[in-house]
Amino acid sequence: MTKQIWLNLPVKDALKSKDFFSKIGFTFLEERTTPDSACMLVGEGNFVVMLFGESMFQNFIQHQITDTKQSSEILISIDAESREEVNAIAQNAKAAGGSVFAEPAENQGWMYGCGFCDLDGHRWNVLYMDFSKMPQH
């Protein structure tokens, strides 16, 4: 069966995207970074997000790339360790040239999160979840 799953995202400039995500706090495998791609690691399990230049990505999918100014194909959610980390990621995303489409706020009494767009308009959801406050059914 499968050994691993990773996410591939099209970007206009892999090295600029690498710089953007580095400023937010993500790490990269330098040995897997080229002018047209960057291998980003997310979380404790080192989930791989590959950032591919659009021409390389389009060659893989053999289909049109979604226009992120018009629609979203995916919402990428990542967890945070604290409310402060959510705030810091939102602030760092803005400072690195991204935009925040949902300012940090509480949601449903047990989640605290924000939403930001990266340089290519991909939407990211950052959540701190306090499961001790989660309603029980």
User: Mind giving me the DSSP string for 40-62?
Assistant: EEETTTTEEEEEEEHHHHHHHH-
40 shares a domain with 10: yes
pLDDT of the residue at 113: 98
Domain count, the chain: 2
34 shares a domain with 8: yes
Yes or no: say if 107 and 61 are a contact pair by the CB < 8 Å rule.
no
Last residue of a domain, one of 65, 84, 107: 65
- What kind and span of H or E run contains 10? strand 6-11
57 shares a domain with 75: no
Last residue of a domain, one of 19, 36, 65: 65
Written as tens digits, the pLDDT of the chain (137 aa) is 788 889 999 999 999 999 999 999 999 999 999 999 999 999 999 999 999 999 999 999 998 999 999 999 899 999 999 999 999 999 999 999 999 999 999 999 999 999 999 999 999 999 999 988 988 87
75 shares a domain with 133: yes
Q: Can you tell me whether residue 98 is helix, strand or coil?
A: coil
123 shares a domain with 103: yes
109 shares a domain with 91: yes
* Residue in 85, 136, 135, 137 with CA at minimum distance from that of residue 112: 85
76 shares a domain with 49: no
73 shares a domain with 61: no
* Residue in 45, 46, 60 with CA at minimum distance from that of residue 9: 60
Cα separation of 67 and 129, whole Å?
31
Cα separation of 112 and 56, whole Å?
36
Which CATH number belongs to the domain containing residue 44 in this structure? 3.10.180.10
Instruction: Give the domain extent around 60.
Output: 1-65
